Amino acid sequence: MSRNTDGWILTAQCPSQLGTVDVVTRFLKEQGCYITEQNSFDDKHAQRFFIRTEFRPQSESFDAAAFRDGFGAKAAAFDMTFELTEPGYKVPVVIMVSKTDHCLNDLLYRHRTNKLAIDIRAVISNHPDLEPLVRWHGLSYYHLPVNNETRAEQEKKVWQVIQDSGAELVILARYMQVLSDEMSKKLAGRAINIHHSLLPGFKGAKPYHQAYAKGVKLVGATAHFINEELDEGPIISQKVEVVSHSDYADDLIDKGRDIERLTLANAVSCYAERRVFLYNNRTVVF
């Protein structure tokens, strides 16, 4: 969960080659920056290198623009793309939700208590039910109903809210509508969804009741980036919990909701702390 990062974060990726770690660490040393955390991974199949570094400048005159220019010149030789995130940065987000409120409630609490590095700009729902909760937190609420006939028009309004809010990330906190392929493409790499993970898998209505009828022994949840394939986008976080014959359908629902809350919060935290790298429909998560 959130580590309340208070340093600068440098993230980068490039084709696998000699000197990738050195170009990062040497430049930071030259700039008088102290590394407080570093993670790297080289995917031998994709021939792709990933690195995330937290650091503290030792000088109060640290110039972020000059740092970007200087490192950019070094990174170009490695065909390396990079991002520099300043301390205290909070990711602007829009949350989408239907009627079920457990994930929304959890995100609102973590936001209010500063446990997630996010700035909630708006909440969008296809139902009016959760407006009092959102308004109590002093946040904007957009009730945008949808059905098969109005989906295209509704998604235009959704997209307008996302653009107007300046949201970097969209969180589908139990938004029980399937986004169109067009909307999924617009939100590729910047929208996280949460759903249950039951073994074996159960689709359709009342999945936990189906699971109970089959006597499942594991319940879980998956948080992933969305894509055009329903619930099959690149996975960011997963959690499971053992259950038994003594857990009835309602018990499975309660345990499932707890896991969904934790799994979604973990995925959002990883994204906000720049721990997630997306490539080839897969993720690297440090």
Q: What is the pLDDT, as a whole number, of residue 126?
A: 97
pLDDT of residue 41 exceeding 90:
yes
Residue 178 lies in a domain: yes
* 22 lies in the same domain as 37: yes
Q: What residue numbers bound the domain in which 27 lies?
A: 8-85
- Confirm whether 3 is domain-assigned: no
In a domain, 233, yes or no: yes
**Interval 249-273: pLDDT, tens:** 999 999 999 999 999 999 999 999 9
pLDDT at 3: 54
Residues 97 and 42 in one domain: no
Domain count, the chain: 2
Check residue 205 and give its pLDDT.
Answer: 79
Co-location of 78 and 96 in the same domain: no
Residue 2 falls inside a structural domain: no
Q: pTM surpassing 0.75? A: yes
Residues 6+ apart with CB under 8 A from 10: 24, 28, 51, 52, 53, 54, 55, 71, 82, 83, 84, 85
Mean pLDDT computed over 90-113: 97
pLDDT in tens, 187-230: 999 999 999 887 667 777 788 888 888 898 999 999 999 988 76
pLDDT of residue 79: 98
Q: Which of 64, 85, 106 is the last residue of a domain?
A: 85
From 42, 43, 231, 254, active-site residue? 231
Q: 274 vs 219, which has greater pLDDT?
A: 274
CATH number of the domain residue 260 falls in = 3.40.50.170
pLDDT on residue 100: 96
Residue 231 falls in the annotated catalytic set: yes
Instruction: Indicate whether 134 and 150 sit together in one domain.
Output: yes
Instruction: Residue 62: give its domain's CATH number.
Output: 3.30.70.260
The mean-pLDDT minimum among 75-79, 126-130, 133-137, 200-204 falls in 200-204
Confidence label for 49 from pLDDT (cuts 50, 70 and 90): very high
Q: Write out pLDDT tens, residues 144-190.
A: 999 989 999 999 999 999 999 999 999 999 999 999 999 999 999 99
> Same structural domain for residues 131 and 208?
yes
101 and 200 inside one domain: yes
At residue 5 the predicted structure's pLDDT band, cuts being 50, 70 and 90, is: low
pLDDT surpasses 70 at 44: yes
